[in-house]
């Protein structure tokens, strides 16, 4: 079974994902910044590794990724501080991509959001602007790498339970695009198993089509 690293391992989506992957028999390594989060990560079946990606070099991240088959980026600064947002969501994310290439980890899955990109439309005066800019830059950088990348763009996240049912390519990135974090985790787990999702940006929300069916539809 492939060995999968999750960066941002204590996040809500990451915790759900690590449990799914562990239950499927994957070897999961979860990177967390705070040592106090180690017990929570361990409980999901993942092997926790304390690594502050915000303050780690590309070489240090590459060393930590050695031996992995895939990387899932699910980290984030959490908003509120533009400087940290750029440092984590853009700069550290980009370093992790370079690190994956350096470590020979070909598969890279980015958890982004619906509406991300240079044309995100968020005004500079809005508190979300730094995050939108950071994600746009990171996603664009990933698409230009030689990695086998997939960018996931879920709609507005909720705490609803998983249904395993989604709708891809929703038209409106605003209201009506609710997406449970549990469904995001199911999608992330599925794309790791589906070669046809490589080099694709997949936008989605909760819907009525089975995850695998939706991801593999022509």
pLDDT, averaged per 10 consecutive residues of the chain (218 residues), comes to 94 98 97 97 97 97 98 88 95 98 98 93 91 97 98 96 96 81 98 97 97 92
Domains of the chain from N-terminus onward: 3-216 (3.40.50.720)
pTM summary value: 0.97
CA distance 43 to 41: 5
Radius of gyration of the chain (CA): 16
pLDDT of residue 218: 65
Task: Evaluate whether 133 touches 104 at the Cβ level (below 8 Å).
Answer: no
Bridge partners for 50 per DSSP: 32
pLDDT of residue 77: 82
CA distance 149 to 91: 18
| Residue the block writes with tokens 């533009």 | 82
**Residue 40 CA: distances (Å) to CA of 35, 46, 49, 98, 131:** 10, 10, 12, 28, 26
């Amino acid at each position: 079974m492939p060995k999968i690293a999750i960066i941002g391992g204590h996040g809500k989506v990451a915790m759900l994902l690590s449990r799914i992957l562990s239950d499927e028999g994957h070897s999961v390594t979860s990177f967390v910044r705070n040592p106090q989060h180690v017990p929570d990560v361990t409980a999901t079946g993942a092997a926790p590794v304390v690594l502050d990606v915000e303050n780690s070099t590309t070489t240090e991240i590459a060393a930590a990724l050695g031996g992995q088959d895939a990387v899932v980026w699910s980290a984030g600064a959490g908003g509120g501080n533009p400087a940290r947002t750029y440092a984590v969501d853009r700069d550290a994310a980009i370093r992790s991509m370079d690190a994956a290439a350096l470590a020979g980890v070909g598969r890279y899955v980015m958890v982004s959001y619906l509406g991300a990109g240079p044309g995100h439309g968020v005004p500079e005066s809005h508190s979300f602007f730094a995050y939108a800019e950071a994600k746009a830059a990171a996603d664009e950088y990933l698409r230009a790498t030689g990695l086998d990348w997939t960018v996931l763009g879920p709609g507005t996240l909720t705490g609803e339970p998983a249904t395993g049912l989604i709708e891809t390519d929703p038209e409106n990135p605003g209201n009506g695009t609710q997406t449970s974090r549990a469904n995001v985790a199911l999608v992330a787990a599925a794309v790791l198993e589906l070669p046809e999702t490589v080099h694709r940006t997949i936008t989605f929300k909760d819907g009525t089509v089975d995850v695998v069916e939706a991801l593999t539809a022509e």
